[in-house]
Structures are given as C-alpha cells and as structure tokens.
C-alpha cells in the first residue's frame, strides 16, 4: 500500500534500505511451459489446478557473468575501472514497491531473474550480491510484504496465480559439498503460497527452469550520491557503438543497478559534429543486423561502453559544458533476454510477447540555451520504477551552437542543429531501446518549457512524425513577447536580423576577418571565422541564437499546422496522441517584479508605464483588474501582471492549440491540464513568490496559503524526485500528490489516457492515488463533439473545468480561434 509521510526534514536513506510505495511488479516474468510436459507438475508443486500450464512461460535466458578481457571504447577510457569482469543482466526485472519516499520507509523490493535451474538461480543471485528471497524470513508476514509485487505480474499477464518462482531453500536445508539438496528447494506461487520441491524425477532437478526471486539490496541513489560498486553492474548488448568497432557497431553497454532501476548513463548517440553541421549516427544502423542474425553462442568479443557516468552537458553560458555532448541516459525496470543473439527482438515463447515497456523520451527545458538531460531534477529512476516505463533523457546542442541560422550571403547556415540532435536521439531510441526493455512503437515524447517547444517542433517536423506515438508538451511557450518564437518560427532571413548580425558583430566575423581570402568566399570565411571562436565564448555573448527556423527540411512552415485538415492520403490526422498543459501561474517568472508602486493617485499611470516596459500595451483593466488587498500595492500589481503574462505566453496559445486541432480533425482527442499545486525547483527562478510562506505547523511552507504556482513547479512531482533531491514534504499532501501526478503521466504513456487503470492501482497497492481518484473528477478528454475542458491538478482532490481565461485570451488576440 502507498505510504503517507508527514511533513519532515529531508532524510537520506541508509545504503541498504529498501523503499517504495506500493506494489510494483515488474516485468519480465512470464513464459513458457517446458515442452517436455506435464503431468508431473501437479506432483512437483503442492498445487492442483486445471489451468493451461501458464506456470512457467518464461524464456530460459538469464544473468551471465562475462569474464573476458575486452577492448574499451573511447568514452569508457576515461572512467571505466573494471574492464575485465562485467556482469550482464539479461532477463531481469526490478520489482519495487516505490512510494517515492527515497528509502525513508521500508518497502518491499525484489530482483527477478528469467527462468533457470535452481542451482543457476542460487549462484546468479549470489553473483549479483544478492541471495534467493526468503533465506532469512519467509513468514506469512514476509510473503504479504511482497504480495503486491506478485499481483502485478498477474495483472500484466506475465504470470498466473499458480505460476511459481524459485526462492531460498528451507532454513534446515541439507547440503552435500556445498550444494543444497533438492529436497530442500522451495518455490512460491503468484498467490503467495510457499511449497517444497517434492519431485523424485532426476530430470526435474537438472532441467526444470523457473524464474527466480532474488533479494534487492542495491542502495538508493540520490542527487549527490550514486553507488557504482561493480557488484551492482549490469550490461546490455546493443548496436550503439561506432560502426568500425570490429563488431559491426555492437557493444556491451555497462550500467549499474540502484534500488529502483537499472541505470545507463552517458551513452553516446552521435560523435561530436563539426560545428554548424548536422549530427550523424554513432551506431551502425545497417550492418549490425549481420550480428543480430548470428547464433546466441556467437563468441564475438564485444567492446565495452561505460554507461555509469553522465556525459558532458552541451556548451552553455556560465562556462558549463562542451561541444562533445551528444549523450543520453536510460532508466529501466526491465532488461529482457535477447532472442537468438538479436539486439532488437527480445525473446518470446508460447505465443507470449515480450513485456516491453512504454518509453518516455524527455527533452529538458532551459530556453534552448541551457540545461542538460542529466539534471537530477529530471532523474528518471523513480518514474521508471513506479511508472513501470523506460525513461530516456537526452542532451542536445544549445544556444548559438545549436540554433544559429544565417542567410546565404553571411554563411548559409540553415540552423536547427539542436532539433536535428533531438530527432537523431529519437532514432537511437527506436533502433536500440528494445534491448533496454522499451517498446519502440510506444514512445511518448515529452518536455517542459523549451523542451515542450521541442516537442511541438517534432510534432511539426516531417523528419520526426511517425517516430513517436504520443506527445506531452508541458508549459509550452507561445503567444506574445518572449514566448512567441517557441511556437512561431522565424525564416532564416528573420533570424539573421533578430540575432545573426549581432553574433557576427560580437565575434568580428561580419566579413570573415582573416579567413576572407581570394580562395575563400565571404560566406565561407564567415563560417570559418565563427568556427574558430571558442565555444564557451560563443554561447556567453550578450546575443545568442535560440530560435527554431523554417529551414525547408526539419521545419517547413512558420508554425505547427492546425488550421486546415491535412488531406494527404493516409495522413489526415496527427499520428500521435496528445496531452498538454500548464501551471496556474506559469508566466510569473517571465515578467519583472515592479520596482515600486506609485501613490494611489498615480496608480493608473504607474500600471501603464510598468506594463509598457514589459511589452504589453492597451491591456483591459476590466479583464485584468489589479486586486486591492490593502496590504502591498506592488504585489497587487504583480498579481495582475503575472496573470497577464501567464495568459499571453502560455495558457491562451496552448488552449488554442488543443481547440484548433480538434476542430480540424488533426487531433481526435486531447487531454489538457493545469497545476493548481506546485513545489518550486531549487534555485530557479530565485524568488520567494513561487513558494508558500512557512508557519509554525508547516516550517517548510504551507501549501494551503496563497502563493504563485510558477513555471517548473510540476517537475519534482512528475519525476517523483522530492525525496531523492533531499527536499522535505511540506505537508501531508506533497507525497500522495506526487504519486498521483506520476501515476497519471505514466498512465498516459501506457494507455494514452492519464486515468490510471483501477486494476493496475489495486495490483500495485497504489492506495493514495486510488483515494485521490475517488475524491476527484476523472480526467476528461477534450473532443470536437464534447468540447474542451481542463483537468485542474490539486490535492486532496482534482477537478475538471471549462478552459480558463477565455475572455482575457480574446482580448489579447489569442482566443480559441487563433490558429483557425
């Protein structure tokens, strides 16, 4: 069951603690009854049931220890310390009851291995630093603690109620020469019944394979600490290495296991591109099939790619990052066993498909000028664990290095280099994610702020469409002022005027400088001049490029086309499902706080002067009135202006996107939300208005008090990382609300509806989310027939309402018909 924790100081768990919040059951359990058959099974187990032998429908491939000296690839040279013995996890699932407490509560967790003999199960658990479950305690209470994990396997159709798993031998086990006698072997079924192995057939003791339940004692990771002890190492064979590595691009990718997920960090998806060129694959997309089709006994010695440490961030202001930055991270609860040496086709048997998880492909925000896919705020471990999804977070080129476009006279750069990186990373996911347990046909692209703008650009790009199944832009910018360029794209000539000329002037590259020779055209010289400028200098200029442009390849029109039905054959509707939304006060950090408020007699003039300085003119005082609290006139003015900024930059254009797409048939349905509760990210925007005041009863802030629900205030909730970040739960609502939000967003990735399935919640023991759902309105999809509405996310209950602020949006020229 989900736990509820009172408001508390941040606590970091002990390294051996086991945490979670409800019963997760992981994944790969399932599969096939041995072809030898069968009547002995009823005697083998103390169970008699006339069901189709779904007891053992698992694939007999498992954890393998590779003890070979192998070459280490470029990225591994710097940090890989254990290149002789690597643990390879194939057919392994982390079953974790993750309540998002970061290990403060002691919750059940198991490491399930794919089918193998008892002897192999015992040895493989030990090789992973674990032991078969039940060696120290297999009481009814202990079984009850893991029941939700077993229930989830049944819910997922990866086990029946009578499916059985190897557990530790009886405490009074007899052994010969260190080998436990088969008379002491035990199993547990998915209903929680423990039974002794009682077969007298010699073949049973040597050939019978069952999935094994190991303990899971790997320590929790947090924002400052990750345990990379080799005993927690895991590896996956995947076609991700450079094509000429001697194995057709196939490599052994070495990551690690923490308490909640398998983690593969800093995987290179592209070599460092030459500046102002488009990224190219680092992995071999064509010849790796030669390896994939070989025998599972293929003895090719694979190079090792170290994936235990994040790669460099992309160069950005502040002296951060480098140009060699095209890395991504994978977080997964499940590592499938490959089939016949294949890297793209996980094993299946008895007609049961492999249990590939939906994929959530995250693009970070930061204005297209900053940020990284390795920001601990967006660590994917909790989302992967509790949501039972595979999470991928990526880097992409930023600022002038990622988005500078120049006309043909001044260099002929087409820009959109960062967008090309994002799409190439998506290609990587489609080609490789099955080896990490992800389903390449169920990819949800999501991002927040400029990451949402990147999602929108992919929704518009012919080079991305068809490569993802769902889109989830969070707090997309558009409309007026600063936000406009994230949803409405400049031509290259316009970008030249807006920022290109300023970059050329600041770098003394207007005519190419010393690079301009008779053998080198001015345009070529300008680009050569720009390439000679140090990266950190280029991204630290007072003017930097941050604009997606109409380049004729990646982007074909000046905005996402929503106003006319696309009549192209077989493409009259978007090939993806949509969910999107905003924070209630998204725009508050995007408008300056008034320096001072004039006297009451001059209030109208002060208001007009202040709004004009922020780029807003002729604003209706009736539709945007200044509240009069009688306490703080400056804050009252800011209350109005933050509402204006939220409407002008976020809410109006995003609501108009949903409405137009429904009216024209681009979207058949869409879910729209707004957060009425938030937990502001540490360090940004650097103002206390986005957090509630503390009280004696709530020393970390009382969310029941008035405060601004600002931009980025949903991120800790969506990724479930409050405790992982060492942050306190402010009241009794923060933890269950985060559980509910994460469960809803992961549900959309699984089913394209943010309403979690009631049986899913029951199987996993997610009682907090179930309670909020019972107290709340269901998420309702907007459709052309039913109209548009917004789901208001709050605690202790959420509700459904009409779109907000429509009169205000109309007055700003951003009404529902904006795109029609």
**Is it the case that residue 818 has pLDDT exceeding 60?**
yes
The answer on 730 and 609 residing in a single domain is: yes
For residue 111, report the phi and psi dihedrals to the nearest 5 degrees.
Answer: -110, 110
Give the mean pLDDT of 30-34.
31
The answer on 450 and 592 residing in a single domain is: no
Candidate from 185-199, 397-411, 727-741 with smallest mean pLDDT: 185-199
CA distances from 390 to 107, 110, 474, 476, 678 (A): 22, 18, 19, 23, 25
Give the mean pLDDT of 92-112.
92
Pick 230 or 781 by higher pLDDT: 781
The answer on 262 and 193 residing in a single domain is: no
**Is it the case that residue 443 has pLDDT exceeding 60?**
yes
Q: Is the pTM of this model over 0.85?
A: yes
The answer on 204 and 91 residing in a single domain is: yes
| Residue 101 domain flag | yes
The answer on 750 and 623 residing in a single domain is: yes
**Could you give the CA distance from residue 599 to residue 257 in angstroms, rounded to a whole number?**
61
Candidate from 76-85, 167-176, 200-209, 411-420 with smallest mean pLDDT: 76-85
| Residue 707 domain flag | yes
**Could you give the CA distance from residue 81 to residue 75 in angstroms, rounded to a whole number?**
12
Task: Assign residue 168 the CATH number of its domain.
Answer: 3.10.100
DSSP for 644-667?
Answer: HHHIIIIIHHHHHHHHHHHHHTS-
Nearest C-alpha neighbor of 765 from the set 107, 6, 30: 107
Give the mean pLDDT of 319-344.
82
Give the mean pLDDT of 523-550.
96
Give the mean pLDDT of 453-481.
97
**Could you give the CA distance from residue 726 to residue 657 in angstroms, rounded to a whole number?**
37
**Is it the case that residue 76 has pLDDT exceeding 80?**
no
CA distances from 350 to 53, 165, 264, 336 (A): 10, 18, 31, 16
**Is it the case that residue 647 has pLDDT exceeding 90?**
yes
Give the mean pLDDT of 427-452.
96
Nearest C-alpha neighbor of 62 from the set 211, 269, 165, 176: 211
The answer on 311 and 186 residing in a single domain is: no
Please give the mean pLDDT across all residues of the chain.
84
Give the mean pLDDT of 342-366.
70
The answer on 329 and 240 residing in a single domain is: yes
**Is it the case that residue 40 has pLDDT exceeding 90?**
no
Residue % of the chain over a pLDDT of 70: 80
The answer on 272 and 246 residing in a single domain is: yes
CA distances from 500 to 276, 368, 393, 504 (A): 13, 16, 30, 6
Q: Contact 343/240 with Cβ under 8 angstroms?
A: no
pLDDT at 359: 98
pLDDT at 99: 96
**Is it the case that residue 34 has pLDDT exceeding 80?**
no
Candidate from 72-81, 213-222, 290-299, 326-335 with smallest mean pLDDT: 72-81
Domain end marker among 482, 507, 526: 482
The answer on 144 and 243 residing in a single domain is: no
| Residue 113 domain flag | yes
**Could you give the CA distance from residue 511 to residue 504 in angstroms, rounded to a whole number?**
8
Give the mean pLDDT of 584-613.
81
| Residue 221 domain flag | no
**Is it the case that residue 553 has pLDDT exceeding 90?**
yes
pLDDT at 516: 60
693-736 pLDDT tens trace: 999 999 999 999 999 999 999 999 999 999 999 999 999 999 99
| Residue 502 domain flag | no
Residue 606 binned pLDDT confidence (cut-offs 50, 70, 90):
confident
Q: What is the CA radius of gyration of the chain?
A: 28
**Is it the case that residue 84 has pLDDT exceeding 60?**
no
| Residue 533 domain flag | no
Q: Which stretches of 691-733 are DSSP H helices?
A: 715-719
pLDDT at 78: 35
**Is it the case that residue 20 has pLDDT exceeding 70?**
no
pLDDT at 503: 97
pLDDT at 254: 93
The answer on 355 and 463 residing in a single domain is: yes
| Residue 431 domain flag | yes
385-395 pLDDT tens trace: 999 999 999 99
| Residue 96 domain flag | yes
Pick 225 or 740 by higher pLDDT: 740
Give the mean pLDDT of 636-648.
96
Half-sphere exposure of 311 (CA within 13 A, CB side): 32
**Is it the case that residue 230 has pLDDT exceeding 70?**
yes
The answer on 206 and 236 residing in a single domain is: no
Give the mean pLDDT of 274-281.
97
Pick 579 or 236 by higher pLDDT: 579
Which residues are within 8 A (CB) of 35 and not within 5 positions of it... i.e. 6 or more apart?
none
For residue 143, report the phi and psi dihedrals to the nearest 5 degrees.
Answer: -65, -40
Residue 58 binned pLDDT confidence (cut-offs 50, 70, 90):
very low
**Is it the case that residue 175 has pLDDT exceeding 50?**
yes
Domain end marker among 482, 506, 536: 482
**Is it the case that residue 79 has pLDDT exceeding 60?**
no
**Is it the case that residue 228 has pLDDT exceeding 70?**
yes
pLDDT at 25: 31
At 316, is the secondary structure helix, strand, or coil?
strand
The domain containing residue 175 runs over which residues?
40-64+85-215
Q: Contact 584/791 with Cβ under 8 angstroms?
A: no
Q: Contact 628/458 with Cβ under 8 angstroms?
A: no
pLDDT at 495: 97
**Is it the case that residue 144 has pLDDT exceeding 90?**
yes
For residue 488, report the phi and psi dihedrals to the nearest 5 degrees.
Answer: -125, 120
Torsion of CA 495, 496, 499, 505, to 10 degrees: 170
Dig out the tokens for 70 from the structure.
């192998």
pLDDT at 5: 64
**Is it the case that residue 789 has pLDDT exceeding 50?**
yes
758-781 pLDDT tens trace: 999 999 999 999 999 999 999 999
Give the mean pLDDT of 657-679.
97
Task: Assign residue 587 the CATH number of its domain.
Answer: 3.40.50.1820
486-513 pLDDT tens trace: 999 999 999 999 999 999 999 999 987 6
- HEC string of 468-490 equals CCEEEEECCCCCCHHHHHHCECE
- Our separate counts of H helices and E strands in the chain read 22, 26
Number of domains in the chain: 3
pLDDT at 288: 47
Pick 284 or 99 by higher pLDDT: 99
pLDDT at 564: 66
Q: Which pairing describes strands 164-167 and 210-215: parallel, antiparallel, or unpaired?
A: parallel
Nearest C-alpha neighbor of 54 from the set 35, 25, 38, 30: 30
The answer on 793 and 645 residing in a single domain is: yes
Domain end marker among 153, 186, 215: 215
403-414 pLDDT tens trace: 999 999 999 999
């Amino acid at each position: 069951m989900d736990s509820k924790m009172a408001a508390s100081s941040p606590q970091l768990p002990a390294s051996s603690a086991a945490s979670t919040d409800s019963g997760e059951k992981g994944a790969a359990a399932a599969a096939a009854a041995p072809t030898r058959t069968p009547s002995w099974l009823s005697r083998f187990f103390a169970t008699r049931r006339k069901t189709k032998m779904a007891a053992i429908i698992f694939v007999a491939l498992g954890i393998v220890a590779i003890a070979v000296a192998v070459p280490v690839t470029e990225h591994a040279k710097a940090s890989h310390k254990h290149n002789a013995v690597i643990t390879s996890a194939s057919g392994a699932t982390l079953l974790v009851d993750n309540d998002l407490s970061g290990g403060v509560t002691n919750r059940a967790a198991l490491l399930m291995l794919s089918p193998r003999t008892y002897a192999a199960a015992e040895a493989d658990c030990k090789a992973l630093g674990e032991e078969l479950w039940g060696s120290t305690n297999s009481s009814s209470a202990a079984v009850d603690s893991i029941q939700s994990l077993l229930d989830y396997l049944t819910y997922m159709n990866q086990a029946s109620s009578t499916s059985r798993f190897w557990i530790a031998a009886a405490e009074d086990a007899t052994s010969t020469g260190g080998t436990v006698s088969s008379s002491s072997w035990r199993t547990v079924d998915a209903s929680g019944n423990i039974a002794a192995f009682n077969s007298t057939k010699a073949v049973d003791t040597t050939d019978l394979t069952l999935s094994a339940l190991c303990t899971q004692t790997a320590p929790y990771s947090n924002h400052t600490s990750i345990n990379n002890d080799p005993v927690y190492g895991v590896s996956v064979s995947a076609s991700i290495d450079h094509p000429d590595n001697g194995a057709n691009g196939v490599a052994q990718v070495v990551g690690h296991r923490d308490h909640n997920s398998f983690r593969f960090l800093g995987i290179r998806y592209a070599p460092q591109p030459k500046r102002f060129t488009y990224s190219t694959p680092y992995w071999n997309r064509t010849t790796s099939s030669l390896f994939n089709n070989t025998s599972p006994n293929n003895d090719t010695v694979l190079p090792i790619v170290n994936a235990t440490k994040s790669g460099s961030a992309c160069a950005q202001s502040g002296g951060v990052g480098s140009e060699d930055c095209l890395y991504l991270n994978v977080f997964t609860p499940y590592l499938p066993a490959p089939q016949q040496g294949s890297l793209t086709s996980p094993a299946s048997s008895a007609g049961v498909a492999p249990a590939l998880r939906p994929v959530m492909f995250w693009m970070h925000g930061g204005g297209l000028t900053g940020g990284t896919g390795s920001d601990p705020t967006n660590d994917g471990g909790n989302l992967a664990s509790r949501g039972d999804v595979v999470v991928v977070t990526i880097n992409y080129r930023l600022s002038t290095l990622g988005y500078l476009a120049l006309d043909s006279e001044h260099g002929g750069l087409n820009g959109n280099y960062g967008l090309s990186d994002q799409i190439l990373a998506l290609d990587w996911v489609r080609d490789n994610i099955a080896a990490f347990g992800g389903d390449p046909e169920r990819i949800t692209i999501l991002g927040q702020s400029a990451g949402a703008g990147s999602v929108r650009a992919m929704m518009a790009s012919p080079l991305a469409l068809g490569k993802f199944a769902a889109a989830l832009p969070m707090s997309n910018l558009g409309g007026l002022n600063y936000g406009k360029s994230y949803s409405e794209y400049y031509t290259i000539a316009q970008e030249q005027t807006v920022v290109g000329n300023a970059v050329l002037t600041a770098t003394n590259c207007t005519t190419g400088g010393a690079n301009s020779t008779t053998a080198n055209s001015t345009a070529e010289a300008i680009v050569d001049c720009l390439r000679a400028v140090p990266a950190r200098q280029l991204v630290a200029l007072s003017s930097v490029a941050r604009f997606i442009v109409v380049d004729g390849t990646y982007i074909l029109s000046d905005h996402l086309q929503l106003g006319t039905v696309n009549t192209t054959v077989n493409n009259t509707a978007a090939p993806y499902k949509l969910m999107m939304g905003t924070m209630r006060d998204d725009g508050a950090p995007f408008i300056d706080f008034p320096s001072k408020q004039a006297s009451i007699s001059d209030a109208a003039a002060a208001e007009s002067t202040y709004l004009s300085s922020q780029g807003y003119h002729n604003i209706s005082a009736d539709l945007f009135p200044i509240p009069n609290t009688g306490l703080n006139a400056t804050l009252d003015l800011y209350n109005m202006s933050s509402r204006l900024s939220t409407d002008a930059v976020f809410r109006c254009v995003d609501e108009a996107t949903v409405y137009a797409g429904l009216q024209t048939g681009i979207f058949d349905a869409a879910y729209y939300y707004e957060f009425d509760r938030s937990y502001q990210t540490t360090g940004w925007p650097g103002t206390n208005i986005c957090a509630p005041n503390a009280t004696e009863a709530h020393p970390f802030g009382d969310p029941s008090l008035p405060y601004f629900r600002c931009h980025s205030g949903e991120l800790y909730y969506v990724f479930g990382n409050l405790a992982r970040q060492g942050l306190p739960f402010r009241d009794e609502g923060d933890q269950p609300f985060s559980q509910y939000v994460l469960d809803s967003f992961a549900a959309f990735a699984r089913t394209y509806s943010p309403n979690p399935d009631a049986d899913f919640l029951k199987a996993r023991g997610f009682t907090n989310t179930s309670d909020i759902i019972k107290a709340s309105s269901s998420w309702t999809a907007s459709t052309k027939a039913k109209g548009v509405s917004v789901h208001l996310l709050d605690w202790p209950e959420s509700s459904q309402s009409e779109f907000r602020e429509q009169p205000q949006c109309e007055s700003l020229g951003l009404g529902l018909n904006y795109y029609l």
